[in-house]
Structures are given as structure tokens and as C-alpha cells.
Amino acid sequence: MKIEILGSGCAKCKRLEKNVQKAIRKAGIKADISKVEDINEIMNMGVMITPALAIDGNVVSTGKVLSPDDVLELIN
């Protein structure tokens, strides 16, 4: 599973990244977590509001910091 956190590196983006890591640990699964900070790449994915979350190349959330439980729902 490939999980991407899309954002400029702001506090909300960092919080989303921590929540994604917590969710992955809680689920006990392996995932490749990466950050995408290039604004052009983010826009090419159709994202206009960050932070955003993409799972296996599909954007599943934009403009909010998901809780670890919210992330778990999306990955299951």
C-alpha cells in the first residue's frame, strides 16, 4: 500500500502524517508513506486544498486533518 501526504509541510500536514503513522501502526500493516510537497505535483493530482491524503494514487481526502481512526476507515 502506498500512502501519500500532500501538502507544503505546514503544521496541519505534519499532524496528518503523524496520524497516518499511528493508524498504520494500529492496523499492523505495512505501507510506504511519503510526503509530496511539490505544488505542481499536488495540483496535477487534482488537489487544490491541503493537507490531502492519497492511497495507492487515489486522492481520498482534501482540506482536513484526519484522525487515526478516520485513516483506518479509509485504508480498510
Catalytic residue (choose from 13, 23, 24, 47): 13
Q: Which domain holds residue 27?
A: 2-75
CATH number reported for the structural domain that contains residue 18 in this entry: 3.40.30.10
| pLDDT tens profile 9-28 | 899 999 999 999 999 999 99
64 is a catalytic site residue: no
- pTM of the entire predicted model: 0.92
Q: Are 16 and 5 in contact (CB under 8 A)?
A: yes
Burial letters for 33-67: b for 16+ Cβ neighbours within 10 Å, e otherwise? eebbeeeeebeebebeebbbbbbeeeebbbeebbe
Catalytic residue (choose from 1, 10, 43, 49): 10
Count: domains in the chain: 1
30 is a catalytic site residue: no
Residue 76 confidence (pLDDT) above 90: no
